Amino acid sequence: MNEITRADVCAAAVADAFKDDGEIFGSPMGIMPMLGVRLCKLTSNPDLVLSDGEAMFLGGVPPLFAKGDVLEGWIPFRRVFDIIVYGKRHVMMGATQVDRHGNQNISAIGDFAKPTRQLLGSRGAPSNTVNNRTSYWVPRHSPRVFVEQVDVVSGVGPKRAREAGAEKYNDIHRIVTNLAVLDVKGADDTVRLVSVHPGVTVEEVQGATGFELALPEGGVPTTREPSEAELVIIREVLDPKGLRFKEVPA
């Protein structure tokens, strides 16, 4: 098997974020989340329910962006909101900014009244983060993404949810980046470093973060590498075209 790439490690880390979910709607947004969720479905959690990202539940696990797969259910956009409120969903979204307390921003950069950059808008982030499990994928870990305080709160972190009385279903599960895996289980609900990817040091991750990261007791482990079986699935079944390298270059 060829040398394991950083993109392969990230795919396995995304898969691990969903492995203990059981029968739940896995809702990935972006190439790496899609790859990781499908890898999880074929390995550690076969009970995951997948969609085509538009209006259908999938009966199989096709390669990324492949057409013609078996369909087993209809999920028009309005039904997604029913699932969100019910809570049987784990979404992995992107994040333009994430702050010390796990709040996420995909809305705008700069002053709220006159932003310097207009982004997607909050979209489903608020309801996702107070109704169902939510994780984030960040392909470029940098101080511009990991900031002391986000400019606009789109996704709600645990401390802010608790202060608003909306903590019951708030569950910011994992933040996977091209450098590391993080969560929001540090003291006072702060972002904590869970593991660093092979070849990356804790100092490098801290240097690419705009606030002090909480660290686990006993030291920071290395993110696991995918097994040979997982590598075959990633490279030959799910992503033979190497689309993952668009987000994490080899």
70: confidence class by pLDDT, cuts 50, 70, 90: confident
93: confidence class by pLDDT, cuts 50, 70, 90: very high
Give the pLDDT score at 73: 82
Percent of the chain, pLDDT > 70? 98
Percent of the chain, pLDDT > 90? 78
Give the pLDDT score at 1: 53
Neighbouring C-beta atoms of residue 170, cutoff 10 Å: 25
**pLDDT tens per residue, range 216-228:** 998 999 999 999 9
Give the pLDDT score at 184: 98
pLDDT surpasses 80 at 78: no
CA-CA distance, 1 to 107, in Å (whole number)? 42
Give the pLDDT score at 68: 65
Strand partners, 196: 180, 222
3: confidence class by pLDDT, cuts 50, 70, 90: very high
**Identity of residue 31:** I
Residue whose entry in the numeric block shows the structure tokens 């699935």: 233
Mean pLDDT to the nearest integer, 9-27: 96
Average pLDDT taken over every residue of the chain: 93
Of 244, 196, 191, residue with least CA distance to 220: 196
Domains parsed from the chain with CATH numbers: 6-246 (3.40.1080.10)
Give the pLDDT score at 181: 98
Give the pLDDT score at 42: 97
Could you give phi then psi for residue 34, rounded to 5 degrees?
-60, -45
Residue of 203 and 122 predicted with greater confidence: 203
Mean pLDDT to the nearest integer, 123-142: 93
- The per-residue DSSP string of 182-239 comes to EEEEETTTEEEEEEE-TT--HHHHHHTSSSPPB--TT-PPBPPPPPHHHHHIIIIII-
pLDDT surpasses 90 at 35: yes
21: confidence class by pLDDT, cuts 50, 70, 90: very high
